[in-house]
Structure 1
Amino acid sequence: MIKLIAKLTLLLVALIAIGVLWQRGQLSVLALSRIDPVPETRQLVEQERYAEAHDYLAFFMDYPYVQNAPEAQALQQEIDRVRGSFSYQASKLGEGLFSGTSDETIGQAAGVATDFFVIGDLRDLTKQGIHWARGEETDEVIAALATIGVVASAAQLASGAATVGTAGAAAPSVTASTAVKVGTVTLKAARKLGKLPPWLGKDLVKATKTVKRTRKLDSVTELFGNVYTLAKTRGGLTLLSKTRDAASLERMARFAETFGEHAATLYRIGGDVALKTARRAGELGQESIKLAATYGQLGLRTLDRLGAVKFVKYSARASKMTYKGDLIRLLARWLTQLPTWALYAVIGLAGVVWLPWRRLRGGSRHLMVPANAGQHAAA
């Protein structure tokens, strides 16, 4: 009896092992935990970073599990109320006018307006020149950006005149010089906010020498083209600060171009994992990547492994099982962590135990009996 119970238990475990191997993809999604954005959003609100809080919470509000949560709805209303108030908008306008930087659109527009014209670059060059004459510390990066800005302004004027004279043939030159000009304004703001990565500051100082010598922007056009892409993206300065070299800047620009207003939040959630997954955006789909991001970095890795079709299907099934709480998630997580070799070993052991060895041996002995054995016996 005990032997039979042991055999039945082993058979049950083997069947579970077969199920785990068969449904490993589904289990890997069931094991995931979705991000609750409310705690981090509250932290941002407490720090009075309302624009960032809005963007972060808005990313998750596209999904029913957050969209239907009363706490998230109340928090969104609170953020919208503050951002829509006259006092808040006025403070952000002043922030842009006087400091040249802001996290809100109205402040950014004011900051750009004060820096976009050549007078802003001449002001910065004069200021750095006075510091140098007095033996005070100068900011080489600001001076480099101002120099490039002056050349870009001159190029804009020249290209604009050429465009009129050639019936639009010089339009690409206008676009290039405008991208450089916007790039200088963006990088000045990044410098003031401490979000300009060290590698970029060094590259700008080196590039300025070439620009001053040639009075042309060819050496910085590609660099500033990528900066221009980030400048048009919400949270672009934060993305810029995470770059390590020109190649990573280009990747970040393509990332921002692909995901637009959600790029900063997506990177906040997934970091370099999100960048890696985004390279397959054409194959996986933007919506699938954003869905996977609601599960954090592990969700993005799971999407990368399973593919979009399976991930979306399994995620839809998992969302219907949320009423079972954490128990099913913990069980799925434990089952997915079982080594594949151990699962196959259990299945093999069950096969050995349950195979009818006596019948097989009896059958093999029967096959070994000579065909004419009966004739010899009769004789």
Structure 2
Amino acid sequence: MFKLPFKLALLMLAVVSAGILWQQTQLLVLALTRIDPLPDARAMLAEERYAEAADYLSFFMNYEYVSQNSEAQSLYQEISSKRESWSYQLDKLGEGLLSGTSDETIGKVAGVATDFFVIGDIRDLAEQGVNLAQGEEVDEILVALATLGVVASTAQVASGAGTVATGGVAAPSVVGSTVVKSGLIALKTAKKLGKLPPWLGKTIVKTAKTAKQSKSLEELTGFIGDVNSLANTRGGFKLIGNAENAADLRRMAKFADAFGSHSATIYHIGGSVAVDVAQRSDKLGNETIKLATTFGQGGLKLLDDVGALKFTKFASRGTKIAYKGDFFDLLVKLLLMVPTWLLYFFVIFGAVVWIPRRMFSALGRQLYHGSQKPSKVINSPKVT
């Protein structure tokens, strides 16, 4: 029926197709490319975002393919030297004192200190008052936050006085008011950094209007804990800015709790995909999710599809290939473009052509004779 060369070609095609189907997960991993962090880190450095550049590059320095790179080592040392210089630290201290915001620890501490003791709230109210007097635009969200800050400070003082008078009975209220105050400081920082989502801004303004009369901050308690969790995480304000509602803010907080100082970097790479995958970190494992992040969003999606065990096994095999080359990468990607149904067709057809012709002839005769069997005739009674 078929010539031998044609049959051999089909057999080879069937074997290749079977191999692709068998090793499909391995091929998917090999098709992924690990992220080179140097271009992004250099871009951050050029924009003088030293803290962000340090966090981003330090995440990748945990993996040998970056930590053994001399260029990465040199760049990381350059960023670290800049951040450790006294002039840089002094600038960040001033930044925190004057504006209440900073991306470095020393500036954050200074900013929090001024806000925690009402100084910052009074400063912000005064600035907005000057804007109003000069006919300039007044930031109603910043005014609302400063107002709520004054209310929270008053609650702190009252709770503290109650604690002293009752020998500690009012201690929980002190803790509660302090948590709210910390949350308000975080929200104010987010606002100044441009990381406060619109829905949260509306909630703050609404709460401030009722709080001036009732002196209550109950409307904030639903999400203030999540805000504090994110504010206490490096890069957490970026996550606050991307939360679309209270439920999304809760997911972001869970994500930040799981990955700590690496949260901002993982989110920078994986976006909402990383947050979605992190919700299953109890099954996938934090370290596996970090490993998948070094392959970008594609790595995170593949991890979610195949599970931690398969992904780790195949990723470890893939990283042993020191250099794959453009041709190898292209070949793997082309193989993965072949539809699964077509691969199964090649496997089945490749097997069928090797079945002996006489078997088809015998099967055909069997089917033919089976269809030609005479049907039983029922004799009808004769009519007389």
| TM-score after normalising by structure 1 | 0.91
Provide the aligned C-alpha RMSD in A. 2.2
Other-structure match for 2:301: 301
- Asked whether 1:46 is paired with 2:46, we answer yes
Asked if structure 2 preserves the Cα contact closer than 8 Å seen for 1:176 and 1:225, the reply is: no
Residue 295 and residue 74 in structure 1: after superposition, are their counterparts in 2 closer, same or farther (change >3 A)?
Answer: same
Other-structure match for 2:274: 274
Task: For 1:363 and 1:262, locate their aligned partners in 2 and report how far apart those are by CA, in whole Å.
Answer: 66
Other-structure match for 2:379: none
Q: Look up the equivalent residue of 1:278 and give its one-letter code.
A: A
Asked if structure 2 preserves the Cα contact closer than 8 Å seen for 1:289 and 1:303, the reply is: yes
Task: For 2:322 and 2:14, locate their aligned partners in 1 and report how far apart those are by CA, in whole Å.
Answer: 27
Total equivalences in the alignment: 369
Task: For 2:328 and 2:216, locate their aligned partners in 1 and report how far apart those are by CA, in whole Å.
Answer: 63
Shift of the alpha carbon at 1:81?
Answer: 1.0
Which is further off, 188-197 or 230-239? Answer: 188-197
- Asked whether 1:260 is paired with 2:260, we answer yes
Task: For 2:360 and 2:135, locate their aligned partners in 1 and report how far apart those are by CA, in whole Å.
Answer: 98
Shift of the alpha carbon at 1:87?
Answer: 1.1
Matches within 5 A, 1:92-171: 92-132=92-132, 135-164=135-164, 168-171=168-171
Task: For 1:166 and 1:33, locate their aligned partners in 2 and report how far apart those are by CA, in whole Å.
Answer: 63
Shift of the alpha carbon at 1:367?
Answer: 12
Shift of the alpha carbon at 1:353?
Answer: 1.3
Asked if structure 1 preserves the Cα contact closer than 8 Å seen for 2:2 and 2:353, the reply is: no
Task: For 2:34 and 2:366, locate their aligned partners in 1 and report how far apart those are by CA, in whole Å.
Answer: 62
Residue 123 and residue 92 in structure 1: after superposition, are their counterparts in 2 closer, same or farther (change >3 A)?
Answer: closer
Matches within 5 A, 1:1-379: 3-132=3-132, 135-164=135-164, 168-362=168-362
Which is further off, 126-135 or 318-327? Answer: 126-135
Which is further off, 160-169 or 7-16? Answer: 160-169
Name stretches of at least 5 consecutive residues in structure 1 with no aligned partner.
370-379
Instruction: Among all aligned residue pairs of Structure 1 and Structure 2, give the percentage whose two residues are the same amino acid.
Output: 57
Task: For 1:139 and 1:152, locate their aligned partners in 2 and report how far apart those are by CA, in whole Å.
Answer: 20
Asked if structure 2 preserves the Cα contact closer than 8 Å seen for 1:30 and 1:328, the reply is: no
Task: For 1:237 and 1:366, locate their aligned partners in 2 and report how far apart those are by CA, in whole Å.
Answer: 76
Task: For 1:64 and 1:187, locate their aligned partners in 2 and report how far apart those are by CA, in whole Å.
Answer: 38
Asked if structure 2 preserves the Cα contact closer than 8 Å seen for 1:176 and 1:221, the reply is: no
Shift of the alpha carbon at 1:208?
Answer: 1.4
Q: Look up the equivalent residue of 2:349 and give its one-letter code.
A: L
Shift of the alpha carbon at 1:120?
Answer: 2.4
Q: Look up the equivalent residue of 1:280 and give its one-letter code.
A: R
Q: Look up the equivalent residue of 1:290 and give its one-letter code.
A: K
Shift of the alpha carbon at 1:2?
Answer: 8.5
Task: For 2:104 and 2:335, locate their aligned partners in 1 and report how far apart those are by CA, in whole Å.
Answer: 47
Asked if structure 2 preserves the Cα contact closer than 8 Å seen for 1:211 and 1:219, the reply is: no
Task: For 1:172 and 1:287, locate their aligned partners in 2 and report how far apart those are by CA, in whole Å.
Answer: 37
Residue 301 and residue 11 in structure 1: after superposition, are their counterparts in 2 closer, same or farther (change >3 A)?
Answer: same
Shift of the alpha carbon at 1:326?
Answer: 3.5
Once the two structures are superposed, residues 29-68 of structure 1 have per-residue CA deviations (whole angstroms, 9 ceiling, x without a partner) of 0110000001110111111111110000000000010011
Shift of the alpha carbon at 1:360?
Answer: 5.0
Residue 170 and residue 343 in structure 1: after superposition, are their counterparts in 2 closer, same or farther (change >3 A)?
Answer: farther
Which is further off, 127-136 or 276-285? Answer: 127-136
Residue 172 and residue 13 in structure 1: after superposition, are their counterparts in 2 closer, same or farther (change >3 A)?
Answer: farther
| TM-score after normalising by structure 2 | 0.90
Q: Look up the equivalent residue of 1:337 and give its one-letter code.
A: M
Residue 57 and residue 362 in structure 1: after superposition, are their counterparts in 2 closer, same or farther (change >3 A)?
Answer: same
Q: Look up the equivalent residue of 1:302 and give its one-letter code.
A: L
Secondary structure of 2:223's match? helix
